[in-house]
Chain A
Amino acid sequence: MATPYGIKLAVHLITNHFGTLVAKVCDNLLRRGPLTLQQVIRYTELTPQQVKNSLLILIQHNCVQAFTLESQGGFGDGPKANTQYLALFSNILHRMRFPKFLEIVSRELDQECKELLEGLLQNGRLTLVQMVERAKSKRKDGCREDAVREGLTKLLAAHFVERCPAPEPLVPEQVKVETTSKKRGTKSAKINEESETIEQRVLAAAGPMEAQRFSMITNTEFDVNGETSTDDSPSLIVGEKRKRDSLELDRESTAEEGEVVLWRANFEEFLRRLRHMACIENVRASLDDGAVKVLKAKLDATRGLEKKVKTEKSVPLSLDNIFEEVIKSEEGRVMTLDDVRASLVQLGCPASARGTADSYSIDLKKIIESAQNDEVESIVLKRYGRDAYRIFRLLSKNGRLVETDKISDTTFVEKKDAPKILYKMWKDEYLHMEKLVLAPNRNILLWKVNKRPLWEHVLDEMFHAALNLSLRAAYEWDKEKEVINPLEAMTKEERLKQKNIRILLDSSLLKLDDAIMLFHNF
């Protein structure tokens, strides 16, 4: 979800890539939720043309999705449709991670595919024709259209690329459920809940059918009417042929084909890969190599079957199938069936001495949660010290309110020191405190770790830190460029030092981004 510093970071990224005008539009959409064109013009105080261009750029780069909310008009009017624009917070943040996505494709496929993906990331979305043109202009020796088509096919097969969503889907009005709105606490929580639902509904309405999503075959070969026949939701309209009166997307159309498909990077698949990598790394740190091999094999085998990125448990697989996958790799061939069984137990699967046909499923959510705990505990240790670390871990494991005295007893912290440490952590919003009044001068303080609000707070701090790293890197880069006079040019050592500074800042940002994904996307 978009926390205050998350929004600042997103706007910073857009400013760097597209300038302040586009960033202003984006900022308003992020802070205020979905807006119509007129509303954006009014809030940004920019000209209509500037706003339109900015929205076009943001849509082109998958940072904004347009949609129409079906709503009943006033008396005597028919249902009105008004185009609104929704900022896609997660997609904006992905702009920080393009190098990671390219590295995955480079490793799993080939150079050709990597270059194709690079084009898609740089341009937001391209047709096959545009991809071929781009490849031709980059290669001096010319390039075959087949090679590009082949590359695209490979990327689609691996789900790294997908069809673009409908430009302006019609999202049906949701039936309001009275009870849920009464349960919500603060207003901001309500806005977050509502906007999350809107985003989910819009994306669900916009996305192409699963069968078409990764298919090269164009629409005309599927159906004639422009409406999908097997689709559940009647509101889903495949938008290429629909008449639009507000925005026209810059798009080619070939008369012969009648349908031109736009392709874009499928962020969902990249997130899935990165999530699997994070799980494997976490297991590598806490268990042995055998467990790592088994987990990797299992995830590789069932990747295509995972329905959503945040899958709680891995898709069930029998021991036979797991073993089959493990021995595919050279390191895996040293493992016996018993080794695999033992590793599965280590990974948390219940031990089963029965047949090899039993299905095993690994709790990925638990692995992710353990990694999240490690990250927060590391912050507490470095920021508040070892005593605080023990206290925090006690409260985190306990999950309930604990009295100050009990805390100091269990953690072996001096009774007079414990309250000071607890107060410091509470002031920084790492702990929750409640006061129990037993008698006029006898108060007992109770403490607790509330994971959900704390995780959100830590995520916001991470966004803040990422923004800081980025700003400092820009500052250091500007310092370097200020040296114009050759006589004052930096010495070799100074240049080396500046280079090392840049490497440190860049690598820290990449590492921090892994942690951000751990809390935000995984």
Chain B
Amino acid sequence: MSAGMNRSQGLSSLKRKQPDSKSPIESLTEHERILYNLIRSKQDMAIWTRDMKRETNIPDNVLNKSLKSLQAKKLIKEVVTIQNKGRKHYIATEFEPSKEITGGAWYVEGSLDTEFINFLKKHCVKIIYEQKIVTLEEILDTIRRSRAFNVEFTTQQIEEIVNALVLDNEILEVKSTGMGEFNSIPIGKVCYRCASKAGLKAEPKIGAMASIPCGVCPQISLCTPDGIISPTTCVYYTKWLDF
């Protein structure tokens, strides 16, 4: 599964924070040493090449050559920041880029890994639908046992996904009463069930206001009975009534 494969590098690498002790620090040139110390001083926040030039006054060609050398020696690595994807940022290898610049576990190369997230969401909904009512730990357990992904998820990560599903109104968060369908779950424990009785394919009910052109109209505040935008001249109405 390609989605899983890509993610294994992203997620599992976030967990490893061991410094590489075999780096040849001694064989650095003067410029390389200055740059390396500067990059290291920024710790997990990384630094933009332009900022490096400003702080060290090293000319461009020397700067680039030094950075290439440091990279080859595996002392620094390039990272993409979510705020400025086009600008080259560098970080010392012993640091993992902070959440502020990567966006967090769900970001890949500066963008939200939407495909993976949606896949994981659908998988969770399926688990909840099949088991009718389920706790967070049970979801995590089912995912682990299913071996559908070759990465380990933390409880927090699954909780984030499940919370997003609650916000999508695809599932409901409920508290166990210990009775009936909550039989095996301790009273008060948070669990999840599908929001709609129809299950996976159900569409949320459209409200009265949302069913008419005015409900979704971006110009409603400009519309008046006799104005340029009015119900009698409205193109959305004409389209809606043209069936």
Contact = CB atoms under 8 A, between A and B. Distances in A.
Q: Are A and B co-members of a single complex?
A: yes
Interface of A: 8, 285, 288, 342, 345, 351, 374-379, 381-383, 386, 389-390, 393-394, 409-416, 428, 458, 461-462, 464-465, 467-469, 471-472, 475-476, 500-501, 504-505, 508, 511-512, 514-515
13 contacts: A375-B210, A376-B207, A382-B215, A390-B167, A411-B164, A414-B112, A461-B215, A464-B214, A465-B215, A467-B225, A501-B241, A508-B208, A515-B208
Interface stretch (B20-28, B46-54, B103-111): B103-111
A477 to B, nearest CB: 12
Contacts of B5: none
A238 B237 CA distance: 51
B177 interface: yes
B179 A379 contact: no
B212 A383 contact: no
B199 to A, nearest CB: 14
Contacts of A514: 208
A409 B104 contact: yes
Interface of B: 82-83, 103-104, 106, 111-112, 117, 160, 163-164, 167-169, 177, 179-180, 197, 204-212, 214-218, 220-221, 223, 225, 230-232, 234, 237, 241, 243
A393 B167 contact: yes
A501 B225 CA distance: 20
Contacts of B221: 428
A409 B243 CA distance: 42
Interface centre among B160, B208, B241 (most CB of A within 10 A): B208
A374 B207 CA distance: 7
Given A351-B177, A415-B82, A500-B243, A508 B168 contact: no
Nearest to A353: B179
B210 to A, nearest CB: 4
5 closest pairs, A vs B, by CB?
A: A378-B207, A465-B214, A468-B231, A515-B208, A390-B167
A372 to B, nearest CB: 10
A501 B237 CA distance: 11
A411 B167 CA distance: 8
Contacts of B218: 383
A412 B209 contact: no
Contacts of B169: 377, 389, 393
Contacts of B180: 342, 345
Interface centre among A8, A389, A464, A475 (most CB of B within 10 A): A464
A345 B177 contact: yes
A6 B167 CA distance: 32
Contacts of B237: 468, 472
B3 to A, nearest CB: 15
A378 to B, nearest CB: 3
Nearest to A350: B177
B228 to A, nearest CB: 14
A242 B142 CA distance: 80
Contacts of B204: 378, 381
Contacts of B103: 415
Nearest to A504: B241
Contacts of B223: 464, 468
